[in-house]
Amino acid sequence: MVERAGRLEGKAAIVTGAGGGIGAATAALFCREGARVLLADIRLDAAQAQAQALKTEGHDAVAFQLDLGDPASIREMIEAAVEAFGALHVLDNNAAATNLAQRDGGAETMDPEVWDETMRVNLRGPMLAAQAAIPHMRRAGGGAIVNILSNSAFAGDMAPTAYASSKGGLLVLTRYLAAQHGQEGIRCNAVSPGLIHIAEKSTPQREAFRDLMREHELTPRPGEPRDIAHAVAFLASDDAGFINGQVLHVDGGSLAHSPYFADGQRARRAAAPA
C-alpha cells in the first residue's frame, strides 16, 4: 500500500491498545500521516517503548497507562491528550479484553464474571471514552471516532460468546454515536477485522486456526496489522468526511462468500486430475 503523507496533518489523536499489534501499527501510521498521538495501553512499558520509537523518528507521541475498565482512567486519558496537544480530533477505540478468551465459551456455561468483565472493558470502556472525548471534539470543530469490532459479531459460533456480544454492542454504539453527533461534524465509524497475524500473540493453536481461516479468505496473503491501520487512518481522515455510521470489513473477503465456499474449493481440488 502507498502511504500518502499528511492525511492527518494537524490532528490530535488517541489510540487505545497501542502497546503492540494493531494499535501500535495504527499509532505509527497516524504519526507518519502527520498526527500527534497519545498511545494508551494497560502495559505502560509497551506504550512507552512504542512512543519512544516514534519520537526517535521525529514524531509527536506520548504514552499513557490506561485501564479501560476504570472510568477515572479513561477520563484522565482524554485530559492527558488535550493537555499534551491542546485539542482532540480522533479517538481510535482499539483496546479490548483478550485475556479472557480461554474462559469465554458458550452461553450455557458462561461465567457471569467473564461476561461482566468483557462488557465492562469492550463496550462500556469505548462508550466512556467517546463520552469524554466528544466535548473536546465539539470545541475543535469536529472529529472522528473509530471503533474496532470483530467479524465474530456478524455470525454465530461456539465461542467466544461474551467477546462477540460485546463487539455486537459496539456496532450498535457506533451507529448511535453517528446519529447523535454527526451533524456536529463528529463522525463515528467502525472497522471489523478478520483474523490478523500478530507476531507477539502467535501460538501453535492460533497458527492452526489461521491455516483453517485462510481457506475462507479471498486474498493471496493473510491479514496484517497494517491492513487495519490503513482502514482506521482513512476513516479518521477528512477523506472520509461523508462516511458516518458505517462498518468497513477488513477480512480478506471472509464474509463475502457463501458458507460452503471452502468446502467447494476442497472438493474441486480433490477432483482435479493429478
Which residues does the annotation mark as catalytic?
A: 163
Read off the C-alpha cell for 105. Answer: 465459551
Q: Residue 6: which region, alpha, beta or left (left: phi > 0; alpha: psi -120 to 50)?
A: left
- C-alpha to C-alpha distances, 71 to 4, 127, 152, nearest whole angstrom: 36, 10, 26
The phi, psi pair for 191, rounded to 5°, reads -120, 130
Count, residues in the chain = 274
Distance CA 161, CA 101 (A): 10
* 6 close to 33: Cβ distance less than 8 angstroms: yes
Distance CA 172, CA 185 (A): 19
